[in-house]
Chain A
Amino acid sequence: MKKHEDLINRLEQHRTRAPAHFAEQVMDALPAWKPARKKSWWARQRSWIVPALAGAAATVVIMLGFQQVKTVDPASPTGSEMVTLHFELFAPGADQVELLGTFNNWKSGDIMLEADESGQWTATVQLPEGRHEYVFLVDGERWIADPRAATFRPDGFGRVNTVIQVYDEDNV
Protein backbone atom coordinates (compact mmCIF):
# COMPACT_ATOMS: atom_id res chain seq x y z
CA MET A 1 0.00 0.00 0.00
CA LYS A 2 2.89 2.31 0.84
CA LYS A 3 4.29 1.73 -2.63
CA HIS A 4 0.98 2.75 -4.18
CA GLU A 5 0.96 5.91 -2.11
CA ASP A 6 4.44 6.64 -3.42
CA LEU A 7 3.21 6.11 -6.97
CA ILE A 8 0.25 8.44 -6.45
CA ASN A 9 2.53 11.09 -4.97
CA ARG A 10 4.84 10.71 -7.92
CA LEU A 11 1.95 11.10 -10.37
CA GLU A 12 0.66 14.15 -8.54
CA GLN A 13 4.05 15.82 -8.89
CA HIS A 14 4.37 14.91 -12.55
CA ARG A 15 3.72 17.15 -15.54
CA THR A 16 3.89 16.22 -19.21
CA ARG A 17 5.19 19.40 -20.71
CA ALA A 18 3.82 20.73 -23.96
CA PRO A 19 6.39 21.18 -26.75
CA ALA A 20 8.44 24.33 -26.78
CA HIS A 21 6.65 27.28 -28.39
CA PHE A 22 3.35 25.39 -28.33
CA ALA A 23 1.38 28.43 -27.16
CA GLU A 24 2.85 30.61 -29.90
CA GLN A 25 1.97 28.02 -32.52
CA VAL A 26 -1.60 27.83 -31.25
CA MET A 27 -1.98 31.60 -31.31
CA ASP A 28 -0.57 31.75 -34.85
CA ALA A 29 -3.08 29.12 -35.96
CA LEU A 30 -6.13 30.84 -34.48
CA PRO A 31 -8.61 32.39 -36.90
CA ALA A 32 -7.95 36.06 -37.54
CA TRP A 33 -11.41 37.09 -36.47
CA LYS A 34 -12.30 37.59 -32.88
CA PRO A 35 -15.26 35.87 -31.27
CA ALA A 36 -18.19 38.26 -31.27
CA ARG A 37 -19.21 38.95 -27.71
CA LYS A 38 -22.80 38.75 -26.83
CA LYS A 39 -23.08 41.92 -24.78
CA SER A 40 -25.85 40.77 -22.54
CA TRP A 41 -24.31 37.43 -21.56
CA TRP A 42 -22.66 38.41 -18.31
CA ALA A 43 -25.38 40.84 -17.47
CA ARG A 44 -27.82 37.98 -17.63
CA GLN A 45 -25.91 35.99 -15.02
CA ARG A 46 -27.91 37.34 -12.15
CA SER A 47 -27.96 34.95 -9.26
CA TRP A 48 -31.72 34.53 -9.31
CA ILE A 49 -32.05 34.06 -13.06
CA VAL A 50 -30.00 30.90 -13.34
CA PRO A 51 -31.90 28.79 -10.82
CA ALA A 52 -35.18 30.23 -12.09
CA LEU A 53 -34.38 29.25 -15.65
CA ALA A 54 -33.14 25.85 -14.55
CA GLY A 55 -36.38 25.24 -12.69
CA ALA A 56 -38.45 26.40 -15.62
CA ALA A 57 -36.47 24.23 -18.02
CA ALA A 58 -36.86 21.20 -15.78
CA THR A 59 -40.59 21.82 -15.60
CA VAL A 60 -40.84 22.09 -19.37
CA VAL A 61 -38.87 18.90 -19.84
CA ILE A 62 -41.06 17.04 -17.39
CA MET A 63 -44.23 18.38 -18.98
CA LEU A 64 -43.01 17.53 -22.45
CA GLY A 65 -41.92 14.13 -21.27
CA PHE A 66 -45.36 13.27 -20.05
CA GLN A 67 -47.36 15.22 -22.55
CA GLN A 68 -49.98 13.00 -24.02
CA VAL A 69 -50.77 13.04 -27.70
CA LYS A 70 -54.07 11.41 -28.39
CA THR A 71 -53.17 9.98 -31.73
CA VAL A 72 -53.03 6.37 -32.76
CA ASP A 73 -49.89 5.08 -34.37
CA PRO A 74 -51.05 3.71 -37.74
CA ALA A 75 -47.84 1.72 -38.01
CA SER A 76 -48.38 -0.01 -34.72
CA PRO A 77 -50.05 -3.40 -35.02
CA THR A 78 -51.70 -2.87 -31.69
CA GLY A 79 -52.84 0.65 -32.50
CA SER A 80 -51.15 1.99 -29.37
CA GLU A 81 -51.16 5.69 -28.62
CA MET A 82 -48.17 7.88 -29.31
CA VAL A 83 -46.46 9.73 -26.47
CA THR A 84 -44.24 12.76 -26.99
CA LEU A 85 -40.84 12.56 -25.30
CA HIS A 86 -38.09 15.12 -25.00
CA PHE A 87 -34.49 13.89 -25.16
CA GLU A 88 -31.51 15.94 -23.99
CA LEU A 89 -27.75 15.48 -23.90
CA PHE A 90 -25.12 17.99 -22.81
CA ALA A 91 -22.27 17.61 -25.29
CA PRO A 92 -20.26 20.81 -25.78
CA GLY A 93 -17.79 20.58 -28.63
CA ALA A 94 -19.76 17.90 -30.45
CA ASP A 95 -20.54 18.39 -34.13
CA GLN A 96 -23.47 16.04 -34.29
CA VAL A 97 -25.64 14.07 -31.90
CA GLU A 98 -28.25 11.56 -32.97
CA LEU A 99 -30.72 9.29 -31.26
CA LEU A 100 -30.77 5.61 -32.06
CA GLY A 101 -33.08 3.07 -30.51
CA THR A 102 -35.42 0.17 -30.84
CA PHE A 103 -38.04 2.63 -32.10
CA ASN A 104 -36.02 3.43 -35.26
CA ASN A 105 -34.22 0.13 -35.65
CA TRP A 106 -30.99 1.76 -34.42
CA LYS A 107 -30.84 3.60 -37.73
CA SER A 108 -28.13 6.23 -37.92
CA GLY A 109 -29.09 9.61 -39.38
CA ASP A 110 -32.78 9.16 -38.59
CA ILE A 111 -33.27 11.34 -35.48
CA MET A 112 -30.81 14.22 -35.20
CA LEU A 113 -30.65 16.36 -32.06
CA GLU A 114 -30.29 20.12 -32.30
CA ALA A 115 -27.81 22.11 -30.20
CA ASP A 116 -28.22 25.38 -28.42
CA GLU A 117 -25.35 27.75 -27.70
CA SER A 118 -24.47 26.09 -24.40
CA GLY A 119 -23.86 22.71 -26.00
CA GLN A 120 -27.19 21.24 -24.93
CA TRP A 121 -28.56 18.92 -27.63
CA THR A 122 -32.28 18.22 -27.75
CA ALA A 123 -34.87 16.37 -29.78
CA THR A 124 -38.59 15.86 -29.34
CA VAL A 125 -39.82 12.51 -30.55
CA GLN A 126 -43.14 10.71 -30.63
CA LEU A 127 -42.92 7.10 -29.52
CA PRO A 128 -45.51 4.39 -29.20
CA GLU A 129 -46.33 3.10 -25.76
CA GLY A 130 -44.16 0.34 -24.41
CA ARG A 131 -40.58 -0.45 -23.60
CA HIS A 132 -37.82 1.18 -25.61
CA GLU A 133 -34.04 1.09 -25.57
CA TYR A 134 -31.96 3.90 -26.94
CA VAL A 135 -28.55 5.50 -26.96
CA PHE A 136 -27.04 8.78 -28.12
CA LEU A 137 -24.42 8.65 -30.88
CA VAL A 138 -22.05 11.62 -30.73
CA ASP A 139 -20.20 12.60 -33.90
CA GLY A 140 -20.90 9.17 -35.35
CA GLU A 141 -18.43 7.48 -33.02
CA ARG A 142 -19.23 7.82 -29.35
CA TRP A 143 -22.11 5.85 -27.89
CA ILE A 144 -23.50 7.44 -24.76
CA ALA A 145 -26.31 6.15 -22.58
CA ASP A 146 -28.65 8.83 -21.32
CA PRO A 147 -27.04 10.12 -18.10
CA ARG A 148 -30.46 11.22 -16.83
CA ALA A 149 -32.02 7.82 -17.07
CA ALA A 150 -32.35 5.32 -14.25
CA THR A 151 -32.40 2.03 -16.14
CA PHE A 152 -29.70 0.63 -18.34
CA ARG A 153 -29.08 -2.63 -20.10
CA PRO A 154 -25.87 -4.09 -21.57
CA ASP A 155 -26.03 -4.13 -25.35
CA GLY A 156 -23.80 -7.17 -25.73
CA PHE A 157 -21.01 -5.14 -27.31
CA GLY A 158 -19.49 -3.75 -24.13
CA ARG A 159 -21.71 -0.70 -23.96
CA VAL A 160 -25.03 -0.03 -22.29
CA ASN A 161 -28.35 1.16 -23.65
CA THR A 162 -30.85 3.29 -21.81
CA VAL A 163 -34.20 1.65 -21.12
CA ILE A 164 -37.47 3.56 -20.82
CA GLN A 165 -41.04 2.52 -20.35
CA VAL A 166 -43.47 4.80 -22.18
CA TYR A 167 -47.14 4.74 -21.26
CA ASP A 168 -50.02 7.02 -21.95
CA GLU A 169 -51.29 8.35 -18.66
CA ASP A 170 -54.76 6.86 -19.17
CA ASN A 171 -53.28 3.40 -19.53
CA VAL A 172 -51.02 3.43 -16.49
Chain B
Amino acid sequence: MTLNEQTDQELVSACLAGNREAFSRLVERYQDAVYGLAVSMTRNQADAADMAQDAYIRAFTKLEQYNPEHSFKSWLLRICANRTKNLFRKRVNRRRIEDEYHVESSIRTEDEGHDYHELESAMARLPSKLSAPLRLKYIEGMAYEDVATVLGIGVSAAKMRVLRARNQLAEMLSYEKA
Protein backbone atom coordinates (compact mmCIF):
# COMPACT_ATOMS: atom_id res chain seq x y z
CA MET B 1 0.00 0.00 0.00
CA THR B 2 1.38 3.39 -0.97
CA LEU B 3 1.31 6.41 1.29
CA ASN B 4 -1.36 7.97 -0.89
CA GLU B 5 -3.68 5.05 -0.20
CA GLN B 6 -3.20 5.09 3.55
CA THR B 7 -5.76 6.54 5.93
CA ASP B 8 -4.99 9.62 7.96
CA GLN B 9 -4.57 7.50 11.05
CA GLU B 10 -2.09 5.25 9.31
CA LEU B 11 -0.13 8.23 8.06
CA VAL B 12 -0.05 9.72 11.55
CA SER B 13 1.17 6.42 12.91
CA ALA B 14 3.89 6.27 10.25
CA CYS B 15 4.89 9.83 10.99
CA LEU B 16 5.15 9.12 14.70
CA ALA B 17 7.41 6.23 13.78
CA GLY B 18 9.74 8.71 12.09
CA ASN B 19 8.47 8.77 8.50
CA ARG B 20 8.46 12.44 7.52
CA GLU B 21 7.18 11.59 4.06
CA ALA B 22 3.97 10.41 5.70
CA PHE B 23 3.42 13.89 7.10
CA SER B 24 4.08 15.32 3.67
CA ARG B 25 1.12 13.29 2.40
CA LEU B 26 -1.05 14.74 5.14
CA VAL B 27 0.04 18.24 4.16
CA GLU B 28 -0.85 17.62 0.52
CA ARG B 29 -4.13 15.99 1.44
CA TYR B 30 -5.46 18.94 3.41
CA GLN B 31 -3.46 21.94 2.23
CA ASP B 32 -6.40 23.42 0.30
CA ALA B 33 -8.76 23.03 3.24
CA VAL B 34 -6.33 24.53 5.76
CA TYR B 35 -5.26 27.33 3.47
CA GLY B 36 -8.87 28.05 2.51
CA LEU B 37 -9.91 28.34 6.15
CA ALA B 38 -6.98 30.65 6.82
CA VAL B 39 -7.97 32.79 3.82
CA SER B 40 -11.47 33.09 5.21
CA MET B 41 -10.20 34.10 8.63
CA THR B 42 -7.37 36.44 7.61
CA ARG B 43 -8.83 37.62 4.29
CA ASN B 44 -5.32 38.03 3.04
CA GLN B 45 -3.39 35.53 0.97
CA ALA B 46 0.06 36.14 2.42
CA ASP B 47 -1.17 35.94 6.01
CA ALA B 48 -3.24 32.90 5.15
CA ALA B 49 -0.19 31.06 3.81
CA ASP B 50 1.72 31.93 6.98
CA MET B 51 -1.14 30.77 9.21
CA ALA B 52 -1.66 27.56 7.27
CA GLN B 53 2.04 26.76 7.51
CA ASP B 54 2.02 27.58 11.20
CA ALA B 55 -0.92 25.23 11.73
CA TYR B 56 0.90 22.36 10.05
CA ILE B 57 4.05 22.94 12.09
CA ARG B 58 1.97 23.05 15.25
CA ALA B 59 0.20 19.84 14.27
CA PHE B 60 3.51 18.14 13.57
CA THR B 61 4.95 19.07 16.94
CA LYS B 62 1.74 18.06 18.72
CA LEU B 63 1.08 14.94 16.69
CA GLU B 64 1.32 12.69 19.72
CA GLN B 65 -1.70 14.47 21.15
CA TYR B 66 -3.89 13.61 18.18
CA ASN B 67 -6.58 11.11 19.06
CA PRO B 68 -7.02 8.77 16.06
CA GLU B 69 -10.61 8.13 17.05
CA HIS B 70 -11.44 11.61 15.81
CA SER B 71 -11.09 13.16 12.37
CA PHE B 72 -7.55 14.31 11.61
CA LYS B 73 -8.92 16.93 9.25
CA SER B 74 -11.14 18.44 11.97
CA TRP B 75 -8.24 18.36 14.44
CA LEU B 76 -5.98 20.10 11.95
CA LEU B 77 -8.56 22.71 11.01
CA ARG B 78 -9.25 23.41 14.66
CA ILE B 79 -5.56 24.03 15.26
CA CYS B 80 -5.53 26.34 12.25
CA ALA B 81 -8.58 28.23 13.55
CA ASN B 82 -7.12 28.57 17.04
CA ARG B 83 -3.69 29.66 15.84
CA THR B 84 -5.13 32.12 13.35
CA LYS B 85 -7.43 33.68 15.92
CA ASN B 86 -4.70 33.94 18.50
CA LEU B 87 -1.83 35.13 16.39
CA PHE B 88 -3.55 37.18 13.74
CA ARG B 89 -5.71 39.16 16.12
CA LYS B 90 -2.68 40.25 18.12
CA ARG B 91 -1.44 42.31 15.25
CA VAL B 92 -2.14 45.95 15.89
CA ASN B 93 -2.19 47.00 12.28
CA ARG B 94 -4.38 44.52 10.58
CA ARG B 95 -4.44 44.65 6.88
CA ARG B 96 -7.74 45.21 5.18
CA ILE B 97 -9.12 42.99 2.49
CA GLU B 98 -6.93 43.16 -0.51
CA ASP B 99 -8.90 44.93 -3.21
CA GLU B 100 -6.91 43.08 -5.75
CA TYR B 101 -7.61 39.76 -4.06
CA HIS B 102 -9.56 38.34 -6.97
CA VAL B 103 -6.92 39.24 -9.53
CA GLU B 104 -3.87 38.01 -7.66
CA SER B 105 -2.23 35.21 -9.49
CA SER B 106 -0.70 33.16 -6.72
CA ILE B 107 -3.55 30.68 -6.56
CA ARG B 108 -4.76 30.96 -10.13
CA THR B 109 -4.40 28.06 -12.47
CA GLU B 110 -5.19 27.66 -16.10
CA ASP B 111 -8.46 25.88 -15.58
CA GLU B 112 -9.90 28.48 -13.24
CA GLY B 113 -12.41 30.57 -15.07
CA HIS B 114 -14.58 33.55 -14.33
CA ASP B 115 -16.87 31.64 -11.97
CA TYR B 116 -13.97 30.61 -9.75
CA HIS B 117 -12.72 34.14 -9.22
CA GLU B 118 -16.19 35.59 -8.90
CA LEU B 119 -16.93 33.21 -6.02
CA GLU B 120 -13.51 33.73 -4.40
CA SER B 121 -13.94 37.48 -4.60
CA ALA B 122 -17.45 37.37 -3.15
CA MET B 123 -16.39 35.14 -0.26
CA ALA B 124 -13.47 37.48 0.45
CA ARG B 125 -15.95 40.28 0.98
CA LEU B 126 -17.88 38.35 3.60
CA PRO B 127 -16.98 39.01 7.24
CA SER B 128 -14.54 36.34 8.40
CA LYS B 129 -16.95 35.06 11.04
CA LEU B 130 -19.42 34.26 8.25
CA SER B 131 -17.00 33.18 5.56
CA ALA B 132 -15.22 30.57 7.70
CA PRO B 133 -18.34 28.58 8.71
CA LEU B 134 -19.73 28.82 5.17
CA ARG B 135 -16.49 27.37 3.78
CA LEU B 136 -16.37 24.55 6.31
CA LYS B 137 -20.02 23.65 5.76
CA TYR B 138 -20.19 23.60 2.00
CA ILE B 139 -16.69 23.56 0.52
CA GLU B 140 -15.33 21.13 3.12
CA GLY B 141 -18.64 19.33 3.50
CA MET B 142 -18.56 19.26 7.28
CA ALA B 143 -21.52 18.70 9.60
CA TYR B 144 -22.67 21.68 11.65
CA GLU B 145 -21.36 19.97 14.79
CA ASP B 146 -17.88 19.77 13.27
CA VAL B 147 -18.07 23.35 12.02
CA ALA B 148 -18.92 24.44 15.55
CA THR B 149 -16.10 22.40 17.04
CA VAL B 150 -13.48 23.70 14.62
CA LEU B 151 -14.46 27.32 15.16
CA GLY B 152 -15.11 27.03 18.90
CA ILE B 153 -18.71 28.22 18.64
CA GLY B 154 -22.09 26.65 19.37
CA VAL B 155 -23.95 24.55 16.85
CA SER B 156 -26.83 27.01 16.67
CA ALA B 157 -24.37 29.85 16.07
CA ALA B 158 -22.75 27.84 13.30
CA LYS B 159 -26.12 27.28 11.61
CA MET B 160 -27.03 30.92 11.95
CA ARG B 161 -23.73 32.12 10.52
CA VAL B 162 -23.89 29.74 7.58
CA LEU B 163 -27.40 30.93 6.77
CA ARG B 164 -26.41 34.58 6.98
CA ALA B 165 -23.31 33.94 4.91
CA ARG B 166 -25.31 32.14 2.26
CA ASN B 167 -27.85 34.94 2.04
CA GLN B 168 -25.17 37.61 1.79
CA LEU B 169 -23.23 35.63 -0.78
CA ALA B 170 -26.35 35.06 -2.85
CA GLU B 171 -27.06 38.76 -2.76
CA MET B 172 -23.52 39.56 -3.86
CA LEU B 173 -23.75 37.11 -6.70
CA SER B 174 -27.15 38.52 -7.72
CA TYR B 175 -29.01 35.45 -6.71
CA GLU B 176 -32.54 35.81 -5.45
CA LYS B 177 -33.02 35.35 -1.74
CA ALA B 178 -34.88 32.27 -0.70
Task: Name A's B-contacting residues (CB within 8 A).
Answer: 1, 3-4, 6-8, 10-12, 14-20, 22-23, 25-27, 29-31, 34-38, 41-42, 45, 50, 91-95, 117-119, 138-142, 144-145
In the complex the two chains form, is B36's CB within 8 Å of A15's CB? yes
B65 near A12 with CB under 8 A, answer: no
Contact B17 A37 (CB under 8 A): yes
Chain B residues, Cβ within 8 Å of A22:
27, 31, 35, 49, 52-53
Give 9 new A-B contacts, CB below 8 A, not counting A11-B134, A23-B31. Answer: A7-B175, A10-B119, A18-B35, A18-B49, A27-B24, A30-B60, A31-B60, A36-B64, A95-B86
**Does B141 belong to the interface (CB within 8 Å)?**
yes
Residues of B within 8 A of A17 (CB): 32, 35, 107, 109
Give chain A residues whose Cβ lies under 8 Å from the Cβ of B23.
Answer: 27, 30
CB-based nearest A residue for B107: A17
In Å, the complex CA distance between A90 and B161 comes to: 23
The residue of chain B having its C-beta at the shortest distance from the C-beta of A93 within the complex is: B79
Which residues 103-155 in B have Cβ within 8 Å of A in the complex? 106-107, 109, 115-116, 119-120, 134-135, 138-139, 141, 152, 154
- Shortest distance from the beta carbon of A84 to any chain B beta carbon, whole Å: 27
B53 lies within 8 A of A25 (CB): yes
State whether the Cβ of B173 lies closer than 8 Å to any Cβ in chain A: yes
Q: Is the CB of A19 within 8 A of B175?
A: no
In the complex, which residues 38-85 of chain B have their Cβ closer than 8 Å to any Cβ of chain A? 39, 45, 49, 52-53, 56-69, 75, 78-79, 82-83, 85
The 8 tightest CB contacts between A and B, nearest first, are A16-B36, A11-B138, A93-B79, A37-B16, A18-B35, A18-B31, A3-B175, A34-B18
A144 touches B82 (CB 8 A): no
A138 engages B134 (CB within 8 Å): no
